[in-house]
Amino acid sequence: MKEAKQALTPRWGAKKFLLLIGSIVVVVAVALTFYVSGGAKERQNTQGTSTFKVEQGPLAISVAQSGTIQSLDQVVIKNEVEGRTTILYLVREGTRVNKGDLLIELDASRLNDDMVDQQIRMINAEAAYIRARENLEVVRNQAQSETERAELDAQFAAEDLKKYVDGDFPKDLMSAEARITINREELRRAEEKLEWSRVLFEEKYISQTELQADELAAQRAQLDLDLALAELKLLQDFTYRRKLDELRSQENQTAMALERVRRKATADVIQTEAELRARESEFQREQGRVVKLEQQIAKTRIYAPNDGLVVYATSTQANFRGNAEPLAEGQEIRERQELIYLPAPGSVKAEIKVHESNLEKVRVGMPVRITVNALPGRVFQGRVTNIAPLPDAVSVWLNPDLKVYNTDIHIEGDAEGLRTGMSCRAEIMVAEYPEALYVPVQAVTRIDGMPTVYVRQGANFGPRQVEVGLDNNRMVHVLGGLEVGEAVLLTPPLESTRGRVTGQNGARAAHPQRGGRG
């Protein structure tokens, strides 16, 4: 019996394998048959597919975006302390403050240390400035004294030259000539006396000694005359020229010395004045740094410039990297960082970001309906007041493919209950038509670049080109090509959907012509 079961087992396994193969073949055949018949039915018979009958009635074209309520006029409190600093005290958000109330106190310990060092540098700079100022007076006085002495030397040298030429030399010349005249007269007398002495000696009236005395006197007179003549020649040929050259050279040397003294005095004064200006500039710079540090220390205590409600900047917007860490004591903040908003009571606005696909629909002055999450059931009216010319930089940085434009909406009428930072939703009313033909946006596709819908034609649907206007991301305004009550296919055939265009907030069959006809 056991052997019979072992013989039957392989045959039973083969049957199971054949049955499995047969089942797979049947399933594949059925699937192919269903695909072929189903594809033909999709192209030829669309009974059972979703359709929409063209309707006519009121149609509102609007652009809806979420945003934030902001004060139309608010004071922005920023950190004006250079570098990074820490918050020591922070007023509680939502507090109503009066002008002059303390809002924020920052850590000033580093600035106080810097102030001590800077005051020391300023005192040293002031001492150097005073020393340079007094030194300038000393240099000026010394320069004046040396200049006056050099001028006096030059004056004396010129006077000595004139004195010698016009006084000393003529006097010496006259004296030499006078001596010659006297010596000649003495020589004449001595010679006459010698002649008489010789006559008297021959006649034995005088002695030999007396004759020799007269001869010696005549010789002495001759020598004195020769000496006087030699002195005159020396005076005229050598002494005068040498003295004249010496005095002229002295005059030139004193004149050049005077020029040197004047130039040196000028240079010394200019250099000392430059040093004084440098010391003065350095002192003023150090003094300015002290003043700046005093201002920086004063800015560590931030007071309310006017009455208002305290709103933290971090509560209304995230920073550039999307970090929404709330403002708190002990937090380190950077220079120029926005800290607190003090919105002025009264008028408010809504800030939204409009996607680039809706940008050309929106115009300044368009009416807007605003709803606020915190105030359900209330609808506020407003108008578009400003559209940014360039995309929002933060959004571009976070997502380069996302281009949105900051748009301001002024809220008109009663704005009671609205506070800065509240979330809102703004619906910009682009156009309103009391009677318009419209179909869902997903019913419109593009074939060869032309807006097209599939309209019921008996049991089937056929393509028909239409003219469309604006859409509100749900319904598109049909300007021509359809009639009221005609059934259009909501899901165009697969081969035609390659040309479909999708909008920002959902399917969008046809991109309306920019600023298209309404």
Residue 342 pLDDT > 50, yes or no?
A: yes
User: Is the pLDDT assigned to residue 341 strictly greater than 70?
Assistant: yes
Residue 259: predicted pLDDT: 95
Residues 138 and 245 placed together within one structural domain of the fold: yes
More confident residue, 494 or 130: 130
The residue among 279, 296, 313 that closes a domain is 296
In the structure, what pLDDT confidence band is assigned to residue 322 with cuts at 50, 70 and 90?
A: very low
Query: Is residue 238 in some structural domain?
Result: yes
Whether residue 388 is contained in a domain is answered as no
Nearest to 69 by CA among 400, 316, 429: 316
* Residues 164 and 254 reside in one and the same domain: yes
Q: Is the pLDDT of residue 40 over 80?
A: no
Report the amino acid identity of residue 272. T
Q: Please indicate, yes or no, if residue 241 is contained in any of the structural domains.
A: yes
Choose between 440 and 11: higher pLDDT. Answer: 440
| Averaged pLDDT, 115-134 | 96
| Whole-number pLDDT of residue 46 | 43
Which DSSP string corresponds to 382-432?
Answer: EEEEEE-SS--HHHHHH-TT--EEEEEEEEES--TT--TT-EEEEEEEEEE
102 with 160, same domain: the answer is no
pLDDT over 90 (residue 41)? no
- H-state helical runs in 164-239: 169-202, 208-234
Residue 366, in any domain of the structure: no
Instruction: Decide if pLDDT at 501 tops 50.
Output: no
pLDDT confidence bin for 23, thresholds 50/70/90: low
In the predicted structure, residue 292 carries a pLDDT above the cut 80: yes
Assign residue 330 the CATH number of its domain.
2.40.50.100
What is the model's pLDDT at position 382? 93
Question: Which domain CATH number covers 234?
Answer: 1.10.287
**Confidence category of residue 496, pLDDT binned at 50, 70, 90:** low
Average pLDDT of 149-173? Answer: 91
Give the domain range for residue 320: 76-107+301-344
Q: What's the whole-number mean pLDDT along residues 289-305? A: 96
Res. 345 pLDDT band, cuts 50 70 90: confident
Smallest CA-to-CA distance from 80 within 287, 286, 289, 297 is with 297
Q: What is the pLDDT of residue 324?
A: 55
pLDDT at 518 over 70: no
Task: Examine the fold and report which residue of 262, 296, 330 is the final residue of a domain before the chain moves on.
Answer: 296
Q: Which two tokens stand for residue 327?
A: 């403002």
| E-state strands within 72-158 | 74-78, 84-90, 96-97, 102-106
**Worst-scoring range by mean pLDDT, 203-207, 217-221, 487-491?**
203-207
User: Which pLDDT belongs to residue 24?
Assistant: 57
Residues of the chain above pLDDT 90, percent: 54
Shared domain for 92 and 131, answered yes or no, is no
SS3 of 310, please?
coil
Q: Tell me the pLDDT of the chain averaged across its residues.
A: 84
**For range 31-55, the mean pLDDT:** 53
pLDDT given at position 494: 63
116 assigned to some structural domain: yes
- The stretch 96-121 carries a mean pLDDT of 95
Same domain flag for 103 and 244: no
Q: Are residues 215 and 336 in the same domain?
A: no
Of the ranges 113-117, 315-319, 324-328, 400-404, which is most confident?
A: 113-117
Residue at 189 is within a domain: yes
Domain-ending residue, one of 261, 296, 331: 296
| Each residue's pLDDT tens digit, 59-84 | 988 899 999 988 888 889 999 999 99
- The answer to whether the beta carbons of residues 213 and 220 sit under 8 Å apart is no
The verdict on 129 and 176 lying in the same domain is yes
Do 322 and 233 share a structural domain?
no
Q: What is the pLDDT of residue 169?
A: 86
For 386, the token pair is: 């400003």
Q: Are residues 142 and 282 in the same domain?
A: yes
Tally of domains within the chain: 2
Q: Which of 307, 422, 430 is nearest to 375 (CA)?
A: 422
Residue 508 lies in a domain: no
Same domain, 133 and 169: yes
pLDDT of residue 471: 87
Report pTM.
Answer: 0.56
Residue 459 is assigned to a structural domain of this protein: no
Residue type, 36: V
Indicate if 128 and 197 belong to the same structural domain.
yes
102 & 142 share domain: no
78-103 pLDDT tens trace: 999 999 999 999 999 989 999 999 99
Total Cβ atoms within 10 A of residue 281: 12
Is the pLDDT assigned to residue 151 strictly greater than 90?
yes
